Structure 1
């Protein structure tokens, strides 16, 4: 796959931003600074970036409870995200959405979603809108392996095929639905084959490999924009943390966790590939790391100092009048 240096730098910058953002959120949550629950995306960065690099603000994505990475890859403002996660008034959703419901409609980000399997129907709705209006816009739903068992997922895939909608279903199989292994919870051992049974192309890729995800999404996007209908992409990956911040992870051995972080890091894999091929050099990547470290620290500092929502805000945005 031929990519220019600008595209590669942008990909690494986004992946590094997600990783550094999540590391800082993890620390702040552990210090008791963030309300609610937090689910970290570390280890899955290549999927969000490989998918969203093919989209622009007019395309839509629906996310999961583990949505920070999708937000960042879709172009959401990082400081606004941090303010939102800290529950501050100037957050992307006025401090009311928090980690699991963060959204930015101006960027086509329909929201993180605490409903397991909640994003496929939303993406199908957005895709139906695009087709009805005759635009070339597409929609993408992100779902986990646990969510792939939900009836909402099956109904959405069937409707997308029947109506030939411009939608891409991305399932991130990180091996666990909360604490339950995919080998136990999913009847078929081939989630992509199950999706293919609905009548759409279905691909399985290495979700640790940005280039593999990018190539699969390129094909899916071309199909969707041309009017040929939906595609399913299963990305195999691992998560570097528990289901949520504070998860004791008694269902994973210490050896597994050590191996995951040492051998299954999409950022390190990307660095090795581009430096060995002389596409980018290590010093350039290190400079990006330093720049992002400073930006995320600044975002955390701003979030700590920002104002809380006014009590009266509790009564606003509760209902929408059409």
Structure 2
């Protein structure tokens, strides 16, 4: 039986293996043509938060969506089929990597426009507040999205109406290739801006899955008890380029030394080391999980490639068509 803390490691390993495999296939096969934003190195933010949710809570994400989708229980086959543009994909092959959805799992959707799903999550939370029950909406976004007007507007509306929403900022220090220090004034912080808007916040080591999980439980309880919104600023780091499967230490905007520093803070390695004393078999378990999930993703890819592409006859399905005059 897997303990609760080991389960967090297991779920991070699954996401890491899935994304590493997809990154290799993206580069080597050239069959996946959708832009992809990988969360390799950031798995603790997805797993630590989503593990604290209930099946009735809804999670929204930005363009870097694979990890929260899988952490919330999204269907892997539907994800892979979507990347390969197949009709059985979660967006019927029309959305690609940045437009994932599995509402049965509580993953309400993701979108490519910066900051777009922040306001959508607040609207959902407002609807939840008018229903019986204690459901919470959560929205993932990066530090770059906090510079969009929708972030300030959403914080304000959520605070005024005390809606049950948890803002999850994955602060990986870069918006595309632009560092946080070049975009935001010295002496300020994202969690500080949240508190200034009347929304309580915590800044957490986003590569410590146990700390993330504890903070997420606190934030969700706050929202669930009717005390309004909460923001988590999770300090983390992506290992790969902003969009695409490769490494980018030679692009000129960050050094290999910086990447190596953060790679040494790998959330899976850190969590495994922290659990080793109380669970001596954890290293063997991690190795077994890696083997298991490599087989799982390879089988998902095999199944996806055997599926049909969308029919031309359904090209306009779901499209808005104005009424003829």
When the two structures are superposed, what TM-score results if normalisation uses the length of structure 2?
Answer: 0.93
Q: Please name the residue that 2:259 is paired with.
A: 257
Specify the alignment match of 2:276 in structure 1: 275
Contact 2:6–2:282 (8 Å) recurs in 1? no
**Distance (whole Å) between structure 2 residues aligned to residue 237 and residue 226 of structure 1:** 29
CA-based RMSD: 1.8
For each residue in 1:171-227, what CA deviation from the matched residue of structure 2 results, as whole angstroms up to 9, or x when unmatched? 111010000000111235321111100112110000000011001111111111111
- Superimposed CA distance per residue, residues 39-61 of structure 1 (whole angstroms, 9 cap, x where no aligned partner): 10111100111100111332111
Q: Deviations over 1:33-90 (max 9, x none)?
A: 1112111011110011110011133211110111100100110011111111111111
Structure 2 unmatched runs, 5+: none
What CA distance in whole angstroms lies between the structure 1 residues aligned with 2:252 and 2:281?
40
Distance 1:319 1:137 in 2: 31
The 3 A distance-change label for structure 1 pair 280 and 171 is farther
1:86 aligned partner:
84
Shift of 1:110: 2.1
Change over 3 Å in CA distance of 1:195–1:280 after alignment to 2: farther
Partner Cα separation in structure 1 for residue 247 and residue 35 of structure 2: 11
What secondary structure sits across from 2:109 in the alignment?
coil
> What is aligned with 2:72?
74
CA distance in 1: counterparts of 2:183 and 2:281, whole angstroms: 41
Deviation, 1:281, is 2.5
Partner of 2:176: 178
- Is 1:213 the equivalent of 2:212? yes
2 CA distance for matches of 1:199 and 1:281? 42
The residue aligned with 1:143 is: 141
The answer (yes or no) to whether the contact 1:68–1:99 under 8 Å persists in 2 is: yes
- 1:101 & 1:20 partners in 2: Cα distance? 21
Deviation at 1:280, TM superposition (A): 5.0
Aligned residues: 317
Match of 1:109 in 2: 107
Secondary structure of 1:110's aligned partner:
strand
For structure 1, the 5+ residue unaligned runs are none
Question: Is residue 21–residue 294 contact of structure 2 (8 Å, CA) maintained in 1?
Answer: no
Deviation at 1:279, TM superposition (A): 6.5
Check conservation: 1:5, 1:280, Cα contact below 8 A: no
SS at match of 1:315: coil
Aligned residues of 2:5 and 2:210 also touching (Cα < 8 A): no
Structure 1, 11-20 or 162-171: larger mean CA deviation: 11-20
Instruction: Give secondary structure in 1 for the equivalent of 2:108.
Output: coil
